[in-house]
């Protein structure tokens, strides 16, 4: 481990299990305690983790099993019909405020979300005027729409588009449809094409993966993508292709293995398309942390707080399965309730 006077740490290993064990040792021995929205952590800032010549995320000593990792990649990372934000999920589907597949492979600045919101309002024949007059009706509309779009996305859109503007889009739905189609692009495909054309390129970048015009509508802010940037690094045409990944926040126990698996999937896709071998993967964690209740555990390789990956992923993102009544429970939480009440007041002031 290398360290400088500014508390910058750099760890590297050919073994992912060893790398994460060393990172966990760092948070336990050098980390500082911080209270966060999701519980107290021990954390260190500016930590670089490099997995040398990565192979498999199924190594012994890692918290998630291979089946868990494959499930996560399918749900959150891979490009397919179900990761398209325009896909209409059937009842019982998982809904998240974001997935990396939607943000990177179907990037459109959030226009598809507006298109889906308009479709939901039309399908349920909701009255914007009545939602502006009645907070009860407003809440019912949010809850019904939250079985099509994540409740955080619904609230963000209803804050960004007050009733008169939303009424305009409802009268002209082709505008949102056209914008969603025009803005859509595959950021990873663009980065791969760039490095294929010029292996020494410094512009083969995917990111940032936030939609600030939506996420900034909520105060306090809710779930934000920790994954901020992915870059294919410049090198000679015959050299192995390496990547680097910026992470604003990295949970060394629950998230780090999954994020390395994510990076490996994208790096392998890129290396295959450009005909090069995969090199190294570096994650720069702006804040590397471990939750306090795991620090107190005796087992150095303790699994994440939940044994099932779906339950864990929903906990850290506020994800849920539709038609299960979860949005109503979320809206009773202080942060969600505060946002919903504030946006309802905005609607009552800016009614149709």
3-class SS of residue 83 = helix
Domain ranges (residues) in the chain: 1-82+224-317, 91-196+322-352
> What average pLDDT does the segment 132-143 reach?
97
The percent of residues in the chain predicted with pLDDT above 70, rounded, is 92
Residue 1 pLDDT? 53
Size (the chain), residues? 352
Burial of 72 (0-12, 13-18, 19+ CB in 10 A): buried
Query: How many beta carbons lie within 10 A of that of residue 330, not counting itself?
Result: 21
Tens-place pLDDT, residues 155-199: 999 999 999 999 999 999 999 999 999 999 999 999 999 999 999
Give Cα separations from 102 to 162, 185, 210 (angstroms).
Answer: 25, 10, 11
Q: Confidence class of residue 81 from pLDDT cuts 50, 70 and 90?
A: very high
Q: Which uninterrupted H or E stretch holds 94?
A: strand 94-95
Fold held by 1-82+224-317: Thymidylate Synthase; Chain A (3.30.572)
Tens-place pLDDT, residues 190-243: 999 999 999 999 999 998 898 999 999 999 888 889 998 999 999 999 999 999
Q: How far apart are CA 119 and CA 145, in angstroms?
A: 10
Is the predicted pLDDT of residue 13 greater than 50, yes or no?
Answer: yes
DSSP one-letter code for 232: E
Q: How far apart are CA 324 and CA 129, in angstroms?
A: 28
In the predicted model, what is the mean pLDDT of the chain? 91
């Amino acid at each position: 481990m290398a360290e400088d006077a500014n508390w910058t740490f750099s760890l590297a290993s050919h073994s992912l299990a060893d790398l994460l064990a060393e990172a966990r040792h760092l948070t336990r021995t050098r980390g500082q305690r911080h209270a966060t929205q999701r519980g107290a952590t021990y954390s260190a800032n500016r930590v670089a983790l490099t997995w040398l010549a990565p192979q498999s995320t199924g190594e012994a000593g890692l918290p998630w099993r291979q089946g868990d990792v494959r499930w996560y990649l399918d749900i959150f990372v891979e490009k397919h019909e179900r990761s398209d934000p325009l896909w209409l999920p059937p009842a019982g589907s998982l809904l998240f405020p974001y997935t990396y597949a939607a943000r990177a492979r179907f990037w459109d600045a959030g226009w598809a979300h507006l298109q889906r919101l308009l479709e939901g309002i039309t399908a349920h024949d909701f009255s914007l005027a009545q939602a502006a007059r009645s907070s009860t009706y407003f809440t019912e509309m949010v809850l019904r729409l939250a079985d099509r779009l994540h409740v955080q996305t619904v609230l963000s859109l209803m804050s960004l588009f007050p009733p008169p503007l939303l009424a305009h889009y409802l009268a002209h739905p082709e505008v949102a449809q056209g914008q969603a189609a025009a803005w859509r692009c595959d950021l990873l495909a663009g980065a791969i094409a760039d490095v294929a054309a010029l292996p020494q390129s410094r512009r083969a970048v995917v990111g940032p993966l936030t939609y600030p015009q939506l996420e900034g509508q909520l105060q306090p802010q809710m779930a934000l993508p920790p994954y901020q940037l992915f870059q294919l690094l410049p090198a000679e045409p015959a050299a192995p292709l390496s990547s680097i990944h910026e992470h604003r926040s990295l949970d060394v126990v629950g998230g780090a293995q999954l994020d390395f698996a994510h990076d490996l999937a994208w790096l392998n896709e890129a290396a295959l398309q450009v005909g090069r071998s995969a090199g190294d993967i570096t994650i720069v964690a702006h804040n590397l942390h471990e939750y306090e209740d795991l620090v107190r555990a005796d087992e150095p390789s303790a699994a994440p707080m939940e044994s099932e990956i779906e339950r864990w992923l929903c906990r850290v993102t506020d994800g849920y399965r539709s038609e299960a009544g979860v949005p109503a429970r979320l809206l009773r939480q202080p942060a969600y309730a505060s946002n919903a009440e504030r946006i309802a007041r905005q609607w009552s002031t800016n009614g149709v």
